Copies of this chain bind each other. A is one copy, B any other.
Amino acid sequence: MTRVLGELGEDKLLAQVFLRLNRNSRVVIGAGDDCAVVKFRGAKDWLLLKTDCVVEEVHFTKETNARAVGWKAMMRALSDFAAMSGIPEFAIITLAVAGKKKASWVGELYRGLNRAAARFDVAIVGGETSETTGPTVIVVSVAGFVERRRCILRSGGKANDDLFVTGELGGSIRGRHLRFVARIDEARWLTANFNVHAMIDLSDGLGTDLPRLARSSKFGFSIDQRALPLSRGCSIRQAISDGEDYELLFAVSPRERKRLQTRWQKKFPELPLTRIGRLNQRSKIKNQKLKSGYVHFRQRR
């Protein structure tokens, strides 16, 4: 998810629009989760589809290194695969580029896209380039798969599930948003070893994405803000609102807690895993700032 459209909340606008869209019998999950999930021609595994975009002057500036922009554009889409415990396989790039942009910029952009794709053995299988009179728009479309029993939706959370986040939150604008690695390895390890009930990637910030997961699962949540894993120098407010963390937030039974924490620390000793709260019948948000959601980079500059 990216930016609100004018004054309408994106979720609300899209919800209205999506209610009326054509569907067919091969659709497992349409709009509304991190990826679309569909059936493909008798294959046992499900086909996952995702597109995401980054826009000049919104997600990056004229000064941002083109290779870093490419890396970010690809990793954002791959992060949505992580959220479903999916494996990305193929990507297609679509560029709307101002005519005055140098070909060398596009070349560097593709180096970044390709390097991020290669990190997860994703093949870039196509690209369109169109001119625009305005800011550059980069759209990355990714296809891949997930085994049916390992596909994790936002909606599977159960009452009293523990809520865990990977990594640290806040302050991504200082640089991490341009060089993060999608948590695909971590998500795959989780679903190979634990019964994860619900998962989402934190792209818009905990304050926006946690309510999304909880709402999808039809539960409330309670969070211990003192437990939040803050990036160095970040406040609780920043950890909740900054966005672009690209960490995983997931719900799992408290019965798994001890084994999960022990095994995680052995497997990923350098990546924190933090229990920040739990799903429950009614939302108890101790700090109203959790509702404030995504404060966009451009608004904060």
Query: Which A residues contact B (CB, under 8 angstroms)?
Result: 1-6, 8, 10, 13-14, 16-18, 20-24, 26-27, 29-31, 35-36, 38, 40-45, 47, 49-55, 57-59, 89-90, 92-94, 96-97, 99-103, 106-107, 110-111, 114, 117-118, 121-135, 137, 139, 141, 143, 145
Asked if B131 and A13 sit within 8 Å, CB to CB, the answer is no
Q: Which of B18, B117, B145 is in CB contact (< 8 Å) with A40? A: B145
The 8 closest A-B pairs by CB, nearest first: A134-B134, A36-B125, A141-B141, A2-B130, A43-B43, A22-B118, A3-B131, A41-B43
In the bound complex, residues from chain B placing their C-beta under 8 Å from that of A27 are: 90, 123, 125
**How far, in Å, is A288 (CB) from chain B's closest CB?**
26
Asked if B129 and A24 sit within 8 Å, CB to CB, the answer is no
Asked if A126 and B22 sit within 8 Å, CB to CB, the answer is no
Asked if A3 and B114 sit within 8 Å, CB to CB, the answer is no
**How far, in Å, is A125 (CB) from chain B's closest CB?**
4
Q: 28 A–B contact pairs at CB < 8 A?
A: A3-B129, A3-B130, A5-B106, A5-B131, A6-B99, A6-B103, A13-B103, A14-B127, A17-B106, A20-B111, A21-B117, A21-B123, A23-B123, A26-B89, A38-B89, A41-B44, A41-B47, A43-B43, A47-B143, A50-B92, A51-B93, A51-B128, A52-B94, A53-B94, A53-B130, A132-B137, A137-B139, A139-B139
In the bound complex, residues from chain B placing their C-beta under 8 Å from that of A35 are: 126
Q: A23-B123, A24-B89, A41-B145 are in contact. List 12 more A-B contacts (CB 8 A).
A: A2-B129, A20-B110, A22-B114, A35-B126, A40-B43, A41-B44, A42-B43, A51-B128, A51-B141, A53-B128, A94-B139, A139-B139
**How far, in Å, is A10 (CB) from chain B's closest CB?**
6
CA distance A140 to B148 in the complex (A): 26
Q: What is the count of identical protomers in the complex?
A: 2
In the bound complex, residues from chain B placing their C-beta under 8 Å from that of A141 are: 49, 51, 92, 94, 139, 141
Task: For A8, give the chain B residue with the smallest CB separation.
Answer: B103
Asked if A129 and B44 sit within 8 Å, CB to CB, the answer is no
Asked if A131 and B96 sit within 8 Å, CB to CB, the answer is no
**How far, in Å, is A14 (CB) from chain B's closest CB?**
6
In the bound complex, residues from chain B placing their C-beta under 8 Å from that of A134 are: 132-135
Asked if A114 and B47 sit within 8 Å, CB to CB, the answer is no
Task: For A117, give the chain B residue with the smallest CB separation.
Answer: B22
**How far, in Å, is A129 (CB) from chain B's closest CB?**
5
Asked if B126 and A36 sit within 8 Å, CB to CB, the answer is yes
